[in-house]
Structure 1
Amino acid sequence: MTRGPATPLPPPRERRRLRETAALTQAQLGTRVGVAPGTVRAWESGRTTPRGRKREAYAKLLATLAGEDPAGRATRAPEEEPDSGPVREAEPETTPETHAQPQPQPGPEAKPRPERAPEPQPRPDPQPQPQPLALTPAQAFDALYEFGAPALVRQTFLLTGRREQARESVERAFQAAWEHWPEVARDRDPVGWVRATAYEYALSPWQRFRPRHRHPEPPPADPGDRTLLNTLLRLPPRHRRTLVLYDGVGLDLPETAAETEASTPAAANRLLHAREAVADRLPALADPQVLHRRLAELASNERLRTTLPPTVRTVGERRNRFWTRAAIAFTVALIGTTTLTLRTAPTHYEPPVSPGKAVRGVPPRVVQGALSDEELELRRKLRDQMQDGPERLSPSLE
């Protein structure tokens, strides 16, 4: 048994344009196809491709939307165009010589020619779509920050239970995105890139050693929210992250596994263990739909603020300049220390000085006193003599 060819689909950008033209949200389109909104977002970004029955349902819905789109009429197949009458046979070209020749009169037995069908009017060309204005890197970054920062702060709060840590994690993630902006701008899902960076920073083990971590923040005011947050914080970090991504954000299982850097079976196992732990403490949240709604309510009830995009960019640039200057200063100090060591280091071998030894049997040194008359006379004679040596002695007869 051979498998038939897959149902063709338009490009990802065309899928998104058709949905926006029909004034449908990702959640509404996902409800029609029977998938989560995160799956529709992945299909429109090109990260994943539908398969099987979902692909056929998605392709049929897109075809319906393309038929309702005025700008898509020109792309219909020829058999879909309305019938404009019988097809007229091709006639020979009419030249001036042909007009000049007399036309034969039809005889009595000649049959009348049928009337020609009106020629179909050419369809007007679709009006060109307005080209989007080119944004500068700063404007594109600000638009991405305003779109994704509020939701990311709420999601990170579910991971950490700390408001300031969630805000700082998201800001650090966006500063890293601004530092690698050409790479992030070309990514299929820039929000996913920032989300993965923010989660890694928020769940880093060294966060517990910070002084701010020693002072607990006030818990949520609602007792139900407080119980749910405590239940989430009791989960292992990997299980907590998988639960937030799948039941909180709405990603499908392959995307959750890819973002957590795990295989799909491992991600499914973590998700099941996390749901069981939450259901044991809160039986009312055993239903995934109820759990998804409660996670959204818990994140929305907290008043989490975000910093303005220019401030995030400025702080990130200032931090990068500081660390760059610190690295340059350390390198210069290291080079100076090495040069000074090379200039002052000995260039030849010097044997070590042997340790001293005590000498026994030597009389102690006597302090010098005043000279006697004989010693003074002897010193005077020695000074009067020639300093070059004694005089030459010549032999003589006695």
Structure 2
Amino acid sequence: MTRSPATPLPSPDERRRLRTAASLTRRQVAECVGVRPETVRAWESGRGTPRGRNRKAYAKLLAGLAERAADGGTRESVPVRREEAAAVVAVRLGEPGGDGRPGTVAPEPSAFAQAPPLSSSASREERLTPAQAFDALYSFCAPALVRQAYLLTGRRALARESVERAFQLAWDRWPEVARDPDPAGWVRAAAYEWALSPWHRYRRRHRRPEPPPPDDEDRALLETLLRLPPPYRRTLLLYDGLGLGLPETAAETEASTRAAAGRLTYARETVAARLPELSDPDELHRRLAELARTGRPRAAEPSAVRGGSERRARFWTRAAVAFTVALIGATAFTLHTAPAGYEPPVPPGEKVRGVPPRVAPGPLSEDERELRDQLRKKLPRGPERLAPLAR
């Protein structure tokens, strides 16, 4: 089964503008939709996206506010990009018996890349090839993921490499990723894991320092983030940067909710101790977005990422085949040269006790010398030989 088309929503800036134009607070909007005010704040900042019934109720409320604004002549049109619209429509992986059963791809907008709303024509279910679906997901998520990885590592090249490796892994497992309820989260977790790997410190090119941001405030914020332990840094970015809930943050960081809350509290206190002006979560979110944009890291083309994934897959396939052939050859050579029968080993020698030791001959005594002289004199003539007599 495929998902039904999502209800179109205005951009986060437009949502905030419509609410303020109607003189409504976030709490009032939250009571109308049935959520918490923090959730509405995440929707308006782009850190979260409503789903299900909440999405329909929120869209209906915004439509009413837009009609009121249109009556006053303040309604504005919002452009729609075809690539980002295709990234959130239902994606079919082919007919039964092909690459896999039908799945869906619905990535969420990142906190650092505001996603425009979907038009009614673009939100209809479309039949896309796996390559088209992957390219749509990559075009929608990769730029923001590169900026997020830059905040985690402070290195532009490593941020780009992390995102490319994550999407290469996603292309290798595309049927699994396409059926995942949150493909963007799947790729984000893989990119974060690669970016925070401790093995990068042993690479030669990563031993050289990265040029810091030109602005003093951005440089101080980046240094503060990099001083945090990797799990704390990741928790802060997911919660205050992307606007994920605490349970979702704990699940993605593979920690309990209590542990994630403790990490978040420690990270916020550390940032506030060094930069007191960032004690407000909203201000911290804004500064993180600005710092991510200063890095200016760019993602590669989706076709290049797919090609790299396929080349890596071919390389490892050939390496596995070569290793298997070498193993089979070594086994055959061993079988050919091994003895046909069993040859018992020679037991080791045992020490025999009670045998007198061998003694070398010493000097002759006086009696032995006399006996020897007598034998030498009588030996030539000697006694007569005894011959046996026959009876």
Q: Which residue of 2 aligns with 1:268?
A: 261
Q: Give deviations 1:132-187, integer Å, cap 9, x for gaps.
A: 43111111111111111000000000001111000000000000111111111122
Q: Given the superposition, is the C-alpha separation of residues 154 and 65 from structure 1 closer, same or farther in structure 2, using an over 3 Å criterion?
A: closer
TM-score (norm 1): 0.63
- 1:62 offset after TM fit, Å? 4.6
Q: Which residue of 1 aligns with 2:193?
A: 200
Distance in 2 between residues matched to 1:182 and 1:251, nearest whole Å: 25
Q: Which residue of 2 aligns with 1:234?
A: 227
Aligned pairs for 1:357-368 (under 5 A) are none
Judge conservation of contact 2:47–2:244 (CA < 8 Å) in 1: no
User: In the alignment, does 2:137 pair up with 1:144?
Assistant: yes
Q: Give deviations 1:282-316, integer Å, cap 9, x for gaps.
A: 11111111111110000011221211110100011
Distance in 1 between residues matched to 2:195 and 2:331, nearest whole Å: 40
Q: Which residue of 2 aligns with 1:83?
A: none
Find the structure with the greater CA-based Rg: 1
Q: Which residue of 2 aligns with 1:17?
A: 7
Cα root mean square deviation, aligned: 3.2
Q: Given the superposition, is the C-alpha separation of residues 332 and 309 from structure 1 closer, same or farther in structure 2, using an over 3 Å criterion?
A: same
- 1:331 offset after TM fit, Å? 1.0
Q: Secondary structure at the match of 2:239?
A: helix
Q: Which residue of 1 aligns with 2:275?
A: 282
Distance in 2 between residues matched to 1:354 and 1:293, nearest whole Å: 81
- 1:351 offset after TM fit, Å? 3.9
Judge conservation of contact 1:26–1:41 (CA < 8 Å) in 2: no
TM-score (norm 2): 0.64
Q: Which residue of 2 aligns with 1:310?
A: 303
- 1:188 offset after TM fit, Å? 2.0
Q: Given the superposition, is the C-alpha separation of residues 288 and 129 from structure 1 closer, same or farther in structure 2, using an over 3 Å criterion?
A: closer
- 1:353 offset after TM fit, Å? 9.7
- 1:39 offset after TM fit, Å? 8.8
Q: Given the superposition, is the C-alpha separation of residues 13 and 257 from structure 1 closer, same or farther in structure 2, using an over 3 Å criterion?
A: farther
Aligned partner of 1:349: which letter? E
Q: Given the superposition, is the C-alpha separation of residues 194 and 309 from structure 1 closer, same or farther in structure 2, using an over 3 Å criterion?
A: same
Q: Secondary structure at the match of 2:291?
A: helix
Q: Runs of 5+ in structure 2 lacking a partner?
A: 17-25, 31-36, 67-119, 350-357, 361-391
Q: Runs of 5+ in structure 1 lacking a partner?
A: 1-11, 50-54, 70-126, 362-398
How many matched pairs? Answer: 277
Q: Given the superposition, is the C-alpha separation of residues 236 and 64 from structure 1 closer, same or farther in structure 2, using an over 3 Å criterion?
A: closer
Distance in 2 between residues matched to 1:237 and 1:40, nearest whole Å: 21
User: In the alignment, does 2:343 pair up with 1:349?
Assistant: yes
Q: Work out the percentage of aligned pairs sharing the same amino acid.
A: 60
Q: Given the superposition, is the C-alpha separation of residues 198 and 130 from structure 1 closer, same or farther in structure 2, using an over 3 Å criterion?
A: closer
Distance in 2 between residues matched to 1:291 and 1:131, nearest whole Å: 37
Q: Which residue of 2 aligns with 1:169?
A: 162
Q: Secondary structure at the match of 2:7?
A: helix
Q: Secondary structure at the match of 1:305?
A: coil
Distance in 1 between residues matched to 2:315 and 2:197, nearest whole Å: 23
Distance in 1 between residues matched to 2:185 and 2:8, nearest whole Å: 23
Q: Give deviations 1:254-289, integer Å, cap 9, x for gaps.
A: 221121122222211111100000111111111111
Q: Give deviations 1:294-348, integer Å, cap 9, x for gaps.
A: 1000001122121111010001100110011101110110111011111101233
Q: Which residue of the other structure, out of 34, 44, 50, is the alignment partner of 1:43?
A: 50
